[in-house]
Each structure stands twice: as C-alpha cells, then as structure tokens.
Amino acid sequence: MFYKSTRDDSLKVTASQAIAQGISNEGGLFIPESFPDIKGELESLSKLNYIERAKKIFSFFLTDFTEDEIAYCVENAYRPEKFENSAPTKVVKILDGEKTIYSLELWHGPTCAFKDMALQILPYFLTTSLKKNAQGKKAVILVATSGDTGKAALEGFKDVENTEIIVFYPENGVSPMQLRQMATQEGNNVCVCAVKGNFDDCQTQVKRVFTDPEIKAQLAENNMMFSSANSINWGRLLPQVVYYISTYLDLYAEGEIENLETPVNVVVPTGNFGNILAAYYAKLMGIPFGKFICASNSNNVLTDFISGGTYNKNRPFFTTNSPSMDILVSSNLERLLYHLSGNSTESVKKWMNELNTDGSYTIDESTAEKVFELFAAGCCDDEATGKTIAEKFENLNYLLDTHTAVAFNVYDSYVENTKDVRPAIIASTASPYKFSKSVAQAIGLDTDKDEYEIIADVNAKSGLNIPESLLALKDKEVRFNNLTDRDTIKDFVLTKLGINK
Ligand SMILES: *Cc1c(COP(=O)(O)O)cnc(C)c1O
C-alpha cells in the first residue's frame, strides 16, 4: 500500500514515510491509494477483541511494517492499565424516546479526551517509521492545539527517544483544566507555549514552519526533521478508523443490530474534521454506516459548508464552552474533498488556494451532491449546549461534557427534522471533568469556587467517577509559562532547538 498526496497524484510514498513526514512537501495531505474492502472479514473480525482488530486493520495500511512491529505498537499503546475500564473504549446504550443511541465514550485514557486513542499509538508508529527512514535523526513534533491534542501528544511523546515535542495553544482558548494539564507536563523532551491568537492562527503558523524549506534545511543540518502529531498525520487518523469499525462489530456481536448490513448513523462533534473523516473511512472499507452527522458549536463553518457547498471562513471567531471545536479551518476536509471530487488534485489545489487567498471557496455541483448525500450538519451555541447537558442529565441520568453535548443537541434536531431513527453512534469525546465549570453551571451548581471544589460538587451530584489523572494534577508544579506572538512561532522553535538563524 502506497500513499499519495491530495495535491500531487504522482507521489508514491510508503506508510512509514507518510507517518514520519506528517505532511507532504507541497502542502497536501497523505492518503492511501486505495481502501481495502473488509466486508468479507467482518464476521471473523467480530469475534476478536479491540487489540486484535486493531492489528488486523493496521496490517492493511502499514504494509512496510512487519507483523511484529505492528503488534509491538498496538500492545504497548492500548495496555489495559492505561485505560479506566481496561479496554480502550466504552459504549453506553441510551434509549431516548424513539432514539436508540450508542454513546461511544472515547475518553477513558490517560488525558481524558478521545485524542488519546490515536496519540497513545502515534509515538510507536513514528519511532518505528523513523527507524526505517531516518536512521539517527531526531523528530521534532510541532503541535497546534485547541486544548486536547496538546496534552494527549505530550503524554504520548514524553521521554520517547529521538523525539522532541513543542506544543502551541491559543492564549485564551483552552479550559483551565486543559491549561493545567499542559503547563504541568513532565518529561525532558517537552515544551509548551501560548500564542497570542486563536487556534487557526496557531495551526496556520505551525503549518507554515513545517513546510518552510529554509527551516527544514536548517533542521537537516542539525540531524533533525519535523513531524506532526496533528490529525493531518495519517498515523493519527488510522487509529481512529479502528474504533468505528470495532464499535460497529461490538453492536453486531452483542446482538444490538441484526446483521452486518444494518445501517447505523454516526454523530460526531467536529473541529478539524479528523474524527468524522475516520468514520467515513470505515464506511469506505465496508461498514454500512448511514448518515454522518457533523455537529459544530457557534463556529459553524462546516454546518454552512455541508448545507450549501461553500466553505467560508470569513466570519467572526467565537471562543465557546466547547473550545476543542473552536476552529474555522478544518484541515482534514481537504482529504474528503479529494475523495469526493474523484481524486482530483487539480480541484483540491484550486479550492485550497482560494481558501488561502480569499478565505472561501465553492465546490462543484457533483462533489457537492456527494457531500449532501453522505453528511448532515447542525450547530448550537453555548446556551443550547448547557441546556442539553441539563436535559440529558435530568432525563437520562447521563452526564455530557460540552463537546459531546453539542453532538447530542444536533442529533436531536436531526431526528426531529428527518424522522431518521436508525440507531446512532454518538462520539463522546471528552470527560465532563475537563470542562467542569461549564458542566457544573449547566446542572445548576455554584461555580464561584476553586476548580477542584467544583469537580467535587459535580461528582457528588452525578456520581460520575473523577479520573485519577485529573486529581493528580492538583498539586503538580507548573513548568511552562511561555508566550509568543503568532509571527514569532518560527523563532521560538529555532531558539528552543538551539539552532541559530
Ligand atoms: C479535538 C476534539 C474534537 C474535534 O475533533 P476533530 O477530529 O478535530 O474534528 C471534539 N471534541 C473534543 C473533546 C476534542 O478534543
């Protein structure tokens, strides 16, 4: 299996090259040249556990990894002691009126957000890839984060040999717990820095540093290379495909769905479009998913795109109570556009150029029709998010974090409008305790107090277990308080790496 770029079809790189490099030289994203059809293997896969399913699925895509290498990566990444319930994922069945919901809780890992699912394994993929492609080189991982990727990447890469990781986050754009998680990060190869700007500023500047030929040359002289832990990296997306396939198989194995052709809708609270794209990839491989319902907060650029075919980031940026979705440029949409335009690198290049210069683009009719057929979309603001948390807690005795609440809200509207009551998997992306103030407020608790008191109150009212890893941060020393302008990210990186300009 080889990989091409969304902007250059003639490219042909191996999986390990794609993972090591993160993003293609001309700025495109790596995609596999084809997707294996696993329909015929679903029955046998359904009898395996998560780890065995993961190995099998990875082996289709990581064809220059040996079986032992894949086993090593998977078994270390998903060690039972790393996850609250021993298994990486947990599904909670919820009957809400005529709706059958399977809440796919992806936040029982070390940093309490779904990003752990991919970022626990990416360091293993990356170090294995570096051994094949860049013997002796140090990988410098640059991360732009809206809060959760940063911590999950730091935790995944801390003290991993031959790597150094620098995380940039928007100065006023993350929750207090997310900030605490990052600022107290341990490890000798880690660094965290706030940026005066929003997430899009962070992501744009980091992408620019990545693809700057001059900086790349400077790194090479010092025996280093850049890599990415953002969802532009194929090694981040692939592990996410696994949990959609695995969850569907669990529904089948447990008799929740009749057979392996039963359609199930998928609802995803979306920011960079990575998580929902992974669900689409599962469908390409033969999982009979129905609609993909893309849920946004007030930064609803995707809602408009999926309803009308025009992507327009020229709009106000809102700082919301679901900060990990405060994004106006969803990087992974580029991959979807590549697939739905019939692998047209020309179209993708044109649209991405227009996005760069005008801040907006409109896709052609035939591509748009495919988008409309596959996807539905909706959005809700902070107030509606809070109301949804309150309502689902009262009526279903189920406590949602703010991001997952956006998904539940949008799903309710979707069913109301379409009467499509096929069962649905809703991706539950974070622990409510990562956004405790907003959650506490929503369920009527006093929030004018210390964060850990709020957490204790939420626990007392809901009975939901407080993750050990969040409790442990309480008395940890703050190690980082760097702040940089968005235009000086480049200098910050070079100085940090000890490379003189
Ligand atoms: C990152 C994140 C999202 C958005 O996921 P994308 O893959 O960027 O679309 C949603 N919820 C939470 C809690 C997140 O951390």
Distance 274 CA to ligand 1 centre (A): 8
Q: In testing the pocket of ligand 1, which one of 107, 148, 334 has its CB within 8 Å of the most ligand atoms? A: 148
List CB contacts of 167: < 8 A, sequence separation 6 or more: 143, 145, 150, 153, 154, 182, 190, 191, 192, 193
Distances (CA, A) of 142 to 125, 211, 229, 284: 16, 12, 7, 30
* Ranges 79-83, 134-138, 351-355: which has the least confidence: 134-138
Distance 268 CA to ligand 1 centre (A): 9
Q: Which atom of ligand 1 is nearest to the CA of 404?
A: 11
Q: What is the pLDDT of residues 201-258, one digit of tens each?
A: 998 999 899 889 999 999 999 999 998 898 899 999 999 999 999 999 999 999 999 9
Distance 135 CA to ligand 1 centre (A): 33
Q: Which atom of ligand 1 is nearest to the CA of 107?
A: 13
Q: In testing the pocket of ligand 1, which one of 106, 108, 111, 114 has its CB within 8 Å of the most ligand atoms? A: 114
What's the pLDDT band for 300 if we cut at 50, 70, 90? very high
Kindly give the interhelix angle for 402-418 and 382-396, rounded to the nearest 10 degrees: 80
Distance 27 CA to ligand 1 centre (A): 22
Nearest one of 276, 208, 310, 254 to 93, comparing CA atoms: 254
Distance 271 CA to ligand 1 centre (A): 5
Q: Which atom of ligand 1 is nearest to the CA of 240?
A: 7
List residues bridging with 295 in a β-sheet: 269, 378
> CA angle, corner 429, sides to 437 and 427, nearest 5?
135
Nearest one of 145, 102, 329, 113 to 240, comparing CA atoms: 113
List residues bridging with 104 in a β-sheet: 91, 427
Distance 109 CA to ligand 1 centre (A): 15
Which residues line the pocket of ligand 1, CB cutoff 6 A?
113, 115, 148, 231, 269-275, 324-325, 403, 429-430
Nearest one of 328, 27, 303 to 198, comparing CA atoms: 328
Q: How far apart are alpha carbons 489 and 471 in whole angstroms?
A: 32
What's the pLDDT band for 501 if we cut at 50, 70, 90? low
Q: In testing the pocket of ligand 1, which one of 175, 178, 272, 325 has its CB within 8 Å of the most ligand atoms? A: 325
Q: In testing the pocket of ligand 1, which one of 151, 175, 272, 302 has its CB within 8 Å of the most ligand atoms? A: 272
> CA angle, corner 233, sides to 212 and 432, nearest 5?
120
Q: How far apart are alpha carbons 285 and 265 in whole angstroms?
A: 16
Using the predicted structure, report yes or no on whether residue 50 has a pLDDT greater than 70.
yes
Residue minimizing CA distance to atom 8 of ligand 1? 272
Using the predicted structure, report yes or no on whether residue 1 has a pLDDT greater than 90.
yes
Q: Which atom of ligand 1 is nearest to the CA of 274?
A: 7
Q: In testing the pocket of ligand 1, which one of 275, 277, 306, 428 has its CB within 8 Å of the most ligand atoms? A: 275
Write down the pLDDT at residue 146.
Answer: 87
Distance 406 CA to ligand 1 centre (A): 11
Q: Which atom of ligand 1 is nearest to the CA of 231?
A: 7
Return mean pLDDT, the chain. Answer: 96
Q: How far apart are alpha carbons 470 and 462 in whole angstroms?
A: 17
Q: How far apart are alpha carbons 70 and 59 in whole angstroms?
A: 7
> CA angle, corner 21, sides to 245 and 138, nearest 5?
115
Q: How far apart are alpha carbons 388 and 390 in whole angstroms?
A: 5
What 3-state DSSP class applies to 449?
coil
- Quote the DSSP letter at residue 129: H
What 3-state DSSP class applies to 86?
coil
Distance 324 CA to ligand 1 centre (A): 6
Q: Which atom of ligand 1 is nearest to the CA of 269?
A: 10
List CB contacts of 309: < 8 A, sequence separation 6 or more: 362, 363, 365, 367, 368, 371, 372
Q: Using DSSP bridges, classify how beta strands 360-362 and 310-312 pair: parallel, antiparallel or unpaired.
A: antiparallel
Distance 114 CA to ligand 1 centre (A): 7
What's the pLDDT band for 135 if we cut at 50, 70, 90? confident
Q: Which atom of ligand 1 is nearest to the CA of 430?
A: 13
Contact predicate 489/194, CB 8 Å: no
Kindly give the interhelix angle for 176-183 and 148-157, rounded to the nearest 10 degrees: 20
Using the predicted structure, report yes or no on whether residue 376 has a pLDDT greater than 80.
yes
Mean pLDDT of 387-400: 98
Residue in the structure block whose two tokens are 């940093």: 111
Mean pLDDT of 126-139: 88
What 3-state DSSP class applies to 195?
strand
Nearest one of 486, 402, 345 to 107, comparing CA atoms: 402
Using the predicted structure, report yes or no on whether residue 437 has a pLDDT greater than 80.
yes
